[in-house]
Amino acid sequence: MTQRLHLVFGGELTDPSKNVFRDVNDIDIIGMFPDYDSAYNAWKSAAQRTVDNAHMRYFIAHIHRLRDEATAASPTEELGN
């Protein structure tokens, strides 16, 4: 079975409509997970704990999709640039 790592992290944003952290030193790293389902469960738990703070956001980063710098182009090449 292929391992597809996911990172769950979050923190307080400067503005709820943007993805800019108020203080990157205070980012809450929930952890690394071997599949999307376990990452989703961790994300949901963290998000529910902070539901009363509109500035708090948690994210799932698909680590397995990181760009391979040795390759000229990869499937995760940023769009529009």
- Residue range 14-26, pLDDT digits in tens: 999 999 999 999 9
Q: Is residue 71 included in any domain, yes or no?
A: no
Q: Is residue 25 included in any domain, yes or no?
A: yes
Supply 63's token pair. 């680590």
**% the chain with pLDDT above 90:** 72
Assess whether pLDDT exceeds 60 at residue 78.
Answer: no
Q: Which amino acid is at 72?
A: A
Helix (H) and strand (E) counts for the chain?
1, 3
DSSP string, 3-57: ---EEEEEEEBSSTTS--BS-GGG-EEEEEESSHHHHHHHHHHHHHHTTT-TTEE
Assess whether pLDDT exceeds 70 at residue 62.
Answer: yes
**pTM for this one?**
0.77
Assess whether pLDDT exceeds 90 at residue 32.
Answer: yes
Query: Which range of residues forms the domain containing residue 14?
Result: 6-30+48-59
Q: Is residue 35 included in any domain, yes or no?
A: no
Number of domains the chain is built from: 1
Q: Is residue 79 included in any domain, yes or no?
A: no
Assess whether pLDDT exceeds 80 at residue 75.
Answer: no
Q: Is residue 69 included in any domain, yes or no?
A: no
